[in-house]
Structure 1
Amino acid sequence: MDSSPHKVYHEHDFDSRQGLEQYCSDKSDMAFGDDSLKFVIENLRQVFAVSHINGDILIDLSVGSVIHHLYSANEFFKNIIVLKINNRCIMELKRWVDERTGAFYWGHTSALLQEKEENSDQFQDQEAKLRSAIQHVVKYDLEKENMTDPLVLPPADCVISAWLLDVISKGQDEYIRYLRKFSRLLKPRGHVILIGILGSTYFTIGKDKFHVCTYDEDFVRKALVGEGFIIDYCKVKERTAVSDITDYKAVIIIAAHKEK
């Protein structure tokens, strides 16, 4: 039995909008711009291009209602299917996809991508392109054999997961079990991209403290290899954020493909 005094992401309710405000906003007191936004956006386009990751279908399994890690994906995939753990995350994401009043503002993140492109004009409407690429937003259940039952998803060319394995896994054994489950969504020789935090034990949303699975770079490399993946790309950024709402030591982006 888990002895952590912290709440668990997929077992307890949380305010997905407040999570975005704390970790992804453009507010002057948001401490994580370099780590959770800039580092991710700058590296992911390189990941897709250098590792030759492309195809028809990308499945996204990520924390909360984040979308900025998908900007580059819509240049390499025709369709994006987003899976979310609860209705609050789904409603928050759909509010942005449908351009409803009160949707979370992501303009500062699309601007970060434009800054890095030589021909920034073609990236002016990055958010609109991403909205068009997101074909479905589907609720899932981690404990079901088919997480989206009764819906059967088509096999994906790539699965991308941003920070989700960190917060749903109560320990390293569960991390590997869920990684195995996510990899079943892939076509043969499909790709996986993981974004995570190293050396963390908790993150906070509002007044609530949530559990994070503690691991290091060596662990995630071995976990991927153990599940039959060949690693194509790995980049680690040491923490620069000054805040006590989470205690991670570094951010990692790692991409791999199935050997068979």
Structure 2
Amino acid sequence: MMDSSPHKFYHVHGFDSRQHLEHYFSDKPDMVFGDDLLKFPIENLRQVFAVGHIKGDILIDLSISSIIHHLYSASEFFKNILVLKVNNRCIMELKRWLDDRTGAFYWGHTSTFLQEKEENSDQFEDKEGKLRSAIQHIVKYDLEKENMTDPLVLPPADCVISAGLLDVISKDQDDYIRYLRKFSKLLKPGGHIILIGVLDATFHKIGKDTFHVMSHDEDFVRKSLVGEGFIIDYCKVKERTAVSDINDYKAIIIIAAHKEK
């Protein structure tokens, strides 16, 4: 079926991950998305993991671009984090940070925020260092393959976390559910899934390029998870506060659920 969207697709047309990070996740004074895209996920994920139900040996991360801030809390509860990326550019950007190389994107503002939220904030802890130690592998994947990481077969995960990805790879609601089903197949029986996404969005810009975002609401996300056999454990929605014309989302959602055995 031909795609009629005038916008580019994240996983099809190429994606400048560094420019994306600079636009949406940096510590620059003119970066207006700090409350929505940085602080809201970090704070809520801290709460989700603090309950103690979501933990284990393996967490698989399927997220947009080369972001890492959503994995800080996960690194406290999982021995091994496997990161899946759709293109080489995202992998290279992430490896630059992972190896602590000159020119890596600066994430210190996000680890500092989490540190300030924790009770033992007077005791310095290297959040980025701990996360680096937890990330065991970065693997390229192909969404259209039955086994996305073919020929590599991944071990079943205790948890899958996906930030921003389903929104940008899905052409429509059927696509969203199809990809959600693929993600859920990576889980052990009874495993957990955590989704972070934008609501009622249609586009986001990176430099001169405009990328597709599938428009949907909270009710659709909930129904999609329940339809795939998940029981929802946590859900928070934050109305947009950022003022910018480089995207048009109305709210941010974080939702955690576990698969019925």
TM-score normalised according to structure 1 size: 0.99
User: 1 CA distance for matches of 2:218 and 2:52?
Assistant: 19
The answer to whether structure 1 residue 55 and structure 2 residue 56 are counterparts is yes
On the 8 A contact 1:51/1:233 being kept in 2, the answer is no
**Deviation per CA, 1:226-249, whole angstroms, max 9, x where unpaired?**
000000000000000000000000
User: 2 CA distance for matches of 1:21 and 1:195?
Assistant: 19
On the 8 A contact 1:161/1:195 being kept in 2, the answer is yes
Cross-structure match for 2:18? 17
Q: Secondary structure at the match of 1:89?
A: helix
Deviation at 1:48, TM superposition (A): 1.4
Q: Secondary structure at the match of 2:113?
A: helix
* Aligned counterparts, 1:148-227, within 5 A: 148-227=149-228
In the alignment, structure 2 segments of 5+ residues that lack a partner are none
Deviation at 1:61, TM superposition (A): 0.1
Amino acid at match of 1:250: A
Q: Secondary structure at the match of 1:81?
A: strand
Deviation at 1:89, TM superposition (A): 0.1
Amino acid at match of 2:249: Y
* Aligned counterparts, 1:30-49, within 5 A: 30-49=31-50
Cross-structure match for 1:127? 128
Deviation at 1:14, TM superposition (A): 1.7
In the alignment, structure 1 segments of 5+ residues that lack a partner are none
Cross-structure match for 1:77? 78
Deviation at 1:45, TM superposition (A): 1.1
Change (3 A) 1:122 1:259: farther
On the 8 A contact 1:191/1:257 being kept in 2, the answer is yes
The answer to whether structure 1 residue 89 and structure 2 residue 90 are counterparts is yes
User: 2 CA distance for matches of 1:224 and 1:27?
Assistant: 36
Amino acid at match of 1:90: I
User: 2 CA distance for matches of 1:158 and 1:259?
Assistant: 13
Cross-structure match for 2:234? 233
Deviation at 1:122, TM superposition (A): 5.0
Deviation at 1:123, TM superposition (A): 5.4
Cross-structure match for 1:251? 252
Amino acid at match of 1:129: K
Change (3 A) 1:201 1:123: farther
Query: How many residues are paired up?
Result: 260
Q: Secondary structure at the match of 1:120?
A: coil
Q: What do you get for the CA RMSD once the two structures are aligned?
A: 0.8
On the 8 A contact 1:51/1:232 being kept in 2, the answer is no
Deviation at 1:121, TM superposition (A): 4.6
* Identity percentage of aligned residues: 83
**Deviation per CA, 1:102-132, whole angstroms, max 9, x where unpaired?**
0000000001101101102555200000000
On the 8 A contact 1:198/1:252 being kept in 2, the answer is yes
Change (3 A) 1:55 1:75: same
**Deviation per CA, 1:177-207, whole angstroms, max 9, x where unpaired?**
0000000000000000000000000001100
TM-score normalised according to structure 2 size: 0.98
User: 1 CA distance for matches of 2:200 and 2:100?
Assistant: 37
User: 1 CA distance for matches of 2:199 and 2:79?
Assistant: 32
